Amino acid sequence: MFLKLRRYKFLLVELVKRDFKHKYKGTVLGVGWSLLSPLLTLLVMKLVFTQFFGRNAPHYTTYLFVGILVFGFFSESSKGGMTALVGNSGIFTKVNVPKYIFLLSKNAQTVVNFALTLLVFFVFCLIDDINFTWRFILMIYPIVTLTLFNIGLGLILSALYMFFRDMQHIWSVATRLIMYGSAIFYMTDRFSPDMMVVFRCNPVYDHIAFIRKIVLTNTTPEPWEFALLAGFAAVMLLIGGLLYKRYNTEFLYYV
């Protein structure tokens, strides 16, 4: 796989450029929407949950921002990955290229968007009097594991979407359920231990909780938390890789 990626490096780079330009084509602000969109979501949620529901916990804005940032990365990557094959069928039906390269280009584009928003997040941390420590470097770990998780999930969703176009609507509902189960705008400290086990079965929540622990409590996550994120990524990549390998030759019949 890595040898093929080196061989098609130029194509991958050009696909990332194309996807990035296409996303903001015809917009006035262009790439500025990568920064403005999560900020507007943050503003709305902060207004609703502080003014109407009385959420006044310390550093609640940063707490919200972490959830919005991570879930937005997951949502954009999974939705883009799901349509990666169908959206590029005009290329791989004419040229013999690895089909997963289109999925990787989508994920690369979302990583760029995420990185831009992350810079804004750090500015908000300064405004919110968050102490920057060496532990912030550990944020690289959940970003990498979530990226790998998204790639594995994208392999699964893109294959399913190739055969069942209803997946787009099903996944839209599923992402909404995942959002509500990721504790983006509410605290989990009042939930029972049994309920916390349910939360821990949600990879998006685990990545959010990992980053919040670093940023808001200035503590290093436990070894089992590192292992949990790696486990989710490994399992999803394994399932996605096997599914892709099994049905790779059949994709041409469904485009």
Closest by alpha carbon to 251, among 165, 162, 167? Answer: 162
pLDDT band at residue 54 under the 50/70/90 scheme: very low
pLDDT confidence of residue 36: 67
Q: What is the pTM of this model?
A: 0.85
Structural domain boundaries in the chain = 2-253
Rounded Cα gap, residues 119 and 254, in angstroms: 41
Q: Render pLDDT for 101-131 as a digit per residue (tens, 0 to 9).
A: 888 888 888 898 888 888 888 888 888 888 8
Q: Render pLDDT for 59-68 as a digit per residue (tens, 0 to 9).
A: 888 888 899 8
- Rounding to the nearest 10 degrees, give the CA dihedral for residues 173, 174, 175, 176: 50
pLDDT over 60 (residue 142): yes
Rounded Cα gap, residues 237 and 221, in angstroms: 23
Report the 10 Å Cβ neighbour count for 244.
21
Rounded Cα gap, residues 60 and 220, in angstroms: 20
